Amino acid sequence: MVINMIGLVYNTFEKLPLMQYKIIEQLMLNNEDLFKMLKYNENNCLDRPNLTLEEKSALIYPGDIDSSNYRIFLDFFTDDSFTEQCSLLRIYPYFISPPNRVISDITFCIEFLSHNKITQLNNYTNRNVYAFQQIIETINGTDVSGVGLLSFDRTGNPRDSAVLNLNSRNYQGYSIYISTHTSTTIRS
């Protein structure tokens, strides 16, 4: 928050630029299966070894280079085409609504998409459905450091939902809309 000339306090959204990374960090530290589905394209991906933090971090697109070698993005669109049959995770602020000048509701979109040919896992589970469940289990009701309490709850925010995402002819998955309330500290 910042105080203007007439003494009113306003939200500055100081934490917003790093919130996506904080959500990814929460997933990295608390969900092995999600990262196995991102790293390994085979139907037995859940039987593979857990990834190290370095391997998980290497999946995050750093920008300014060919994006087709990465699996985690902080935007809803990448220009490079994907020819590999793989899964992708996208996390970005989708809707920001300030009910007043101090607090804002931020709805994040978390998309998990898989190529149509790798959606079935060897345990008769759909990769996209399992990813949806794992994301919700890991972050719903969790106070993510630097983000706040993430809640998948339409009574808290009517935008919270999950919808089927037919991203292209080859990719499908779910878009999860999950929200938090945020306000920044007063600057001196």
Strand partners, 148: 144
- Domains of the chain are 2-182 (3.30.2000.10)
* Residues 23, 137: Cα–Cα separation, whole Å: 13
5 pLDDT higher than 60: no
The reported pTM is: 0.90
170 pLDDT higher than 70: yes
Amino acid found at 139: I
Instruction: State the pLDDT confidence band at 187, using cuts at 50, 70 and 90.
Output: very low
How confident is the model over 102-136, as pLDDT tens digits? 889 999 999 999 999 999 999 999 999 999 999 99
56 pLDDT higher than 50: yes
For residue 51, give the DSSP letter: P
